[in-house]
Amino acid sequence: MNTLISFASRRSAVAAARGGVLRSFCVSLVAGLGFAGIASAGFVTVPNGDFSDLGNAGTIGGGLVGASGTNVPVGSGPWTATYNGVLGLLAPPTLAISPSQKTATISGLLGVNALGIVNNGGNFGQTLAGNLQSNKRYTMIVNMDASGLLDLGLISDAGVGFSLQAGASTVISSLTAAPGPLRVDLLGASTLRVQIYKDTATVFADPLSVQLFDRPQGLVTAALVNSTTFSNVRLAETTIVPANSTLTVTGGGSQAVPVGQPFPQALTAIVRDQGGNPIPDTLVTLTAPAVGASATLHAGTESGRVIVALTDASGQITFGADANDIAGCYNVIGEVPGIAAPAVFHMRNYSPAQIAAYMAAHPGVNGMPQDSVFCNSFE
């Protein structure tokens, strides 16, 4: 059974199909809903986390064999560099922040075997304004490109990764995260999106700091990751959902659109506790398929195939989606650690040929179906 789109959209679809030229026949609500202005409460500010600040540009390290530096400002900061060479053997790596590329790169890692295996290393770091809080969920998200390696285990074995510190204690580390709190998604050809969370109990309110590092230990030259690039560093301090909480789709859960167009309805979902009460400041991870028919998702400053969104005071997330150029049916999945069942949004991208075929088979229907839960034969 098909649900038809509005009269205005039907007329536009008919004109597109009959004229042989596909034009947008649905009006995007994305701008009107103001996705770019959604509140970001729950995110901890990581100054220049996207590495776009021109004042924080520059190159540190390299050069003199055995040289080292600790918390050396890159440009005017806030990111600083710590690096070390090996006295009489190795120069330190080069650490560079490029605002034009929006990246921070550690390169020139070397290893030799001379009376034992020695390596150089380095990291970017900064202390944040906030302190560690009790009974909160901390989620750190970093994009990493480690010389084309796509296995996080291999990257971790090489000493590459990131961490969240509270004082002298490690809260989160990509080197030691258990499988449950760790999530890895491949973005593009060689970039990994790594997301790790930690739930706190009663803790000391020590200052938070973040580190991005490539500091190999005891590796032969052939095993080294010579260059690592970091981008888009984010940190969220959010609610720990209680047991038996739920995540439920509340809007835009089944819709269709021509390929390459924005979906007409906002996609919404709500997080509730066992008693049905909404839970604000909950971090929801939203994922569209990596290959085939899919969409680019948008919420606040987040945009991509995999994003995160925070529930508002009513326990609800709101996000938008733009279809890619491949026709087909697929699901966008919303997930919260600790909630068993995900939220599932059923989406469909229609091609011009599919629209024309549907019109030809249904001459008495002045429109096209939004049949994304049960795909029909015009797939």
Q: Could you report the per-residue pLDDT of 195-221, keeping only the tens digit for each?
A: 999 999 999 999 999 999 998 877 777
How far apart are the C-alpha atoms of 142 and 309, rounded to whole Å? 16
Question: Is residue 148 in some structural domain?
Answer: yes
Domain harbouring 119, CATH code: 2.60.120.260
DSSP bridge partners of 267: 319
What is the span of the domain harbouring residue 105? 43-238
Helix pair angle (7-19, 352-361), 10° resolution: 100
The SS3 call for residue 193 is strand
How far apart are the C-alpha atoms of 55 and 74, rounded to whole Å? 9
Would you give the end-to-end CA distance of the chain in angstroms?
Answer: 15
pLDDT digits (tens, 9 = 90+) for 110-168: 876 555 678 899 999 999 999 999 999 999 999 999 877 778 888 888 889 999 999 99
Please give the C-alpha separations between residue 145 and each of 72, 151, 198, 236, in angstroms, as whole numbers: 23, 11, 23, 22
Based on the structure, what is the number of domains in the chain? Answer: 2
Pair (310, 336) in one structural domain: yes
C-alpha atoms less than 13 angstroms from C-alpha of 344 in its C-beta half-sphere = 8
**8-state DSSP, 58:** E
pLDDT digits (tens, 9 = 90+) for 234-271: 999 999 999 999 999 999 999 988 999 999 999 999 99
φ and ψ at residue 298, rounded to 5 degrees: -140, 130
DSSP bridge partners of 303: 298
Question: Is residue 202 in some structural domain?
Answer: yes
More confident residue, 307 or 117: 307
pLDDT digits (tens, 9 = 90+) for 2-53: 333 332 333 333 333 333 323 333 323 233 333 333 334 499 999 999 999 9
Q: Please, which pLDDT band fits residue 368 given cuts at 50, 70 and 90?
A: low
Pair (96, 217) in one structural domain: yes
Q: Read off the amino acid at residue 268.
A: T
Pair (167, 262) in one structural domain: no
DSSP letters, 84-140, are E-BTTTBPPPEEEEETTTTEEEEE---EEESSSEEE-EEEEEEEEEEE--TT-EEEE
Which residues lie closer than 8 Å to 374 by C-beta, 6 or more apart? none
Pair (304, 219) in one structural domain: no
Token pair of 56 as six digits: 């924080």
Token pair of 198 as six digits: 């930690």
Question: Is residue 289 in some structural domain?
Answer: yes
pLDDT digits (tens, 9 = 90+) for 55-66: 999 999 999 999
Token pair of 305 as six digits: 């195939």
**8-state DSSP, 55:** G
Give which of 124, 2, 143, 131 is closest to 58, Cα–Cα.
124
Give the H/E segment covering residue 7. Answer: helix 7-19
Token pair of 92 as six digits: 């330190």
Q: What per-residue confidence (pLDDT) applies to 118?
A: 81
Answer with the one of 218, 238, 258 that is the final residue of a domain: 238
Asked if 117 and 220 count as a contact pair (C-beta separation under 8 A), the reply is: yes
Give the H/E segment covering residue 153. Answer: helix 152-157
Q: The pTM is what?
A: 0.84
Question: Is residue 375 in some structural domain?
Answer: no
Q: Please, which pLDDT band fits residue 361 given cuts at 50, 70 and 90?
A: confident
